Amino acid sequence: MRTRKKTSVSHLPKRETEICLRLKQAREALGLTQQKCSELLGVPKARLANYELCRAPIKSELALLFCQRFVISEKWLATGKSEMRHLLALRSSSEAQRIPPATLFSVAYDEQLAQRAEKTLQSEIPETLFHTEKVELIRHPDPTLFKYALAYLLDEWLKDVPAHEQYFLFQAMGDAGYEYRQQSRDKASANQNSGLPNVTESVKRPDVKPHLPNLLDRLREATKERGKKSALAEYLGVPLASVSQWLSGEREPGGETTLRLLKWVEAAERK
């Protein structure tokens, strides 16, 4: 005798069912399994499965965490309107702090978060991810959030960059990453040698931009010998292509990099 496959029938109100289904849609769009998603959210897999099967309405606490951690629009999750991907960071807002944990997400959004969401959407562009209250996300780093936020930003930027120019976007991001990593290493090394804690530098650096043309002339002279450009790139921790672009005047180095270029050329001229 053939047995019928059991199907889940939601007894939730239509609004709650739709929110549950959008949660599942977002998770699948991110390419996450239920197991991985539940681990990143810090909840049991069974709890997440119950939401996706529309067996229980989603509470505001988990919905806001889900949206913030994976860069999902709270407005979209609550209403189905607007784009799926957008970091509104409502979880870090003052309004969210006043919501009791057991409050349904639908209720919390309609009564306390909708106005904040609309104001944020109207006043921001995707690049301003960490603005106003979003600074809290930096004070309390969330590696998962940063990973998905960077992926989201890259998707947004690529929409406006022609295919034949996307390499330059990739290179610019790579240069920024290399430079920041080198700065972090230098600071860590300096602090280790001095025995001081790693603190943010409070003294303003001098403006080196006016001296850049002369510096570039000195650098071109110092890198004429074969292998010197590669040595400079290794010293800075950046691709050789970046050094070539700076020396040719195609791009300008950042302030921190300019100071390090000056330090390198002074050492080369003393030899």
Answer yes or no: do 184 and 138 share one domain.
Answer: no
Query: Residue 129 pLDDT > 50, yes or no?
Result: no
0.75 surpassed by pTM: no
Indicate the pLDDT class of residue 30, thresholds 50, 70 and 90.
very high
Answer yes or no: do 227 and 128 share one domain.
Answer: no
Query: Do the domain assignments include residue 177?
Result: yes
Query: Residue 251 pLDDT > 60, yes or no?
Result: yes
Query: Do the domain assignments include residue 20?
Result: yes
Indicate the pLDDT class of residue 133, thresholds 50, 70 and 90.
very low
Query: Do the domain assignments include residue 129?
Result: yes
Query: Residue 131 pLDDT > 50, yes or no?
Result: no
Give the pLDDT score at 216: 86
Query: Residue 25 pLDDT > 80, yes or no?
Result: yes
Apex CA 132: angle with CA 172 and CA 157, to 5°?
30
Amino acid sitting at position 231? A
> DSSP labels for 113-171?
IHHHHHHHHHH--TT-TT-GGGHHHHHS--HHHHHHHHHHHHHHHHHHS-GGGHHHHHH
Answer yes or no: do 80 and 174 share one domain.
Answer: no
Q: How many domains does the chain have?
A: 2
Answer yes or no: do 38 and 113 share one domain.
Answer: yes
Query: Residue 158 pLDDT > 50, yes or no?
Result: yes
Query: Do the domain assignments include residue 119?
Result: yes
63-80 pLDDT, tens digit each: 999 998 898 999 999 999
Query: Residue 211 pLDDT > 70, yes or no?
Result: no
Query: Residue 26 pLDDT > 50, yes or no?
Result: yes
Query: Residue 224 pLDDT > 50, yes or no?
Result: yes
Query: Residue 208 pLDDT > 60, yes or no?
Result: no
**How far apart are alpha carbons 263 and 252 in whole angstroms?**
17
Answer yes or no: do 222 and 138 share one domain.
Answer: no
Give the containing element (helix H, strand E) for 109.
none
Answer yes or no: do 18 and 135 share one domain.
Answer: yes
Residues forming a β-bridge with 59: 104
106-115 pLDDT, tens digit each: 999 999 999 9
Answer yes or no: do 61 and 137 share one domain.
Answer: yes
Query: Do the domain assignments include residue 257?
Result: yes
Query: Residue 55 pLDDT > 50, yes or no?
Result: yes
Answer yes or no: do 30 and 100 share one domain.
Answer: yes
Question: Which of 125, 142, 159 is the last residue in one of the domains?
Answer: 142
Answer yes or no: do 121 and 179 share one domain.
Answer: no
- Contact, 27 vs 3, CB < 8 A? no
Answer yes or no: do 179 and 105 share one domain.
Answer: no
Q: What is the mean pLDDT of the chain?
A: 79
Answer yes or no: do 138 and 175 share one domain.
Answer: no
More confident residue, 50 or 239: 50
CATH number at residue 26: 1.10.260.40
Query: Residue 198 pLDDT > 60, yes or no?
Result: no
Picking from 96, 51, 89, the residue whose alpha carbon sits closest to that of residue 73 is 89
Answer yes or no: do 35 and 136 share one domain.
Answer: yes
Query: Do the domain assignments include residue 199?
Result: no
Give the pLDDT score at 63: 96
User: Residue 213's domain spans which residues?
Assistant: 167-192+208-270
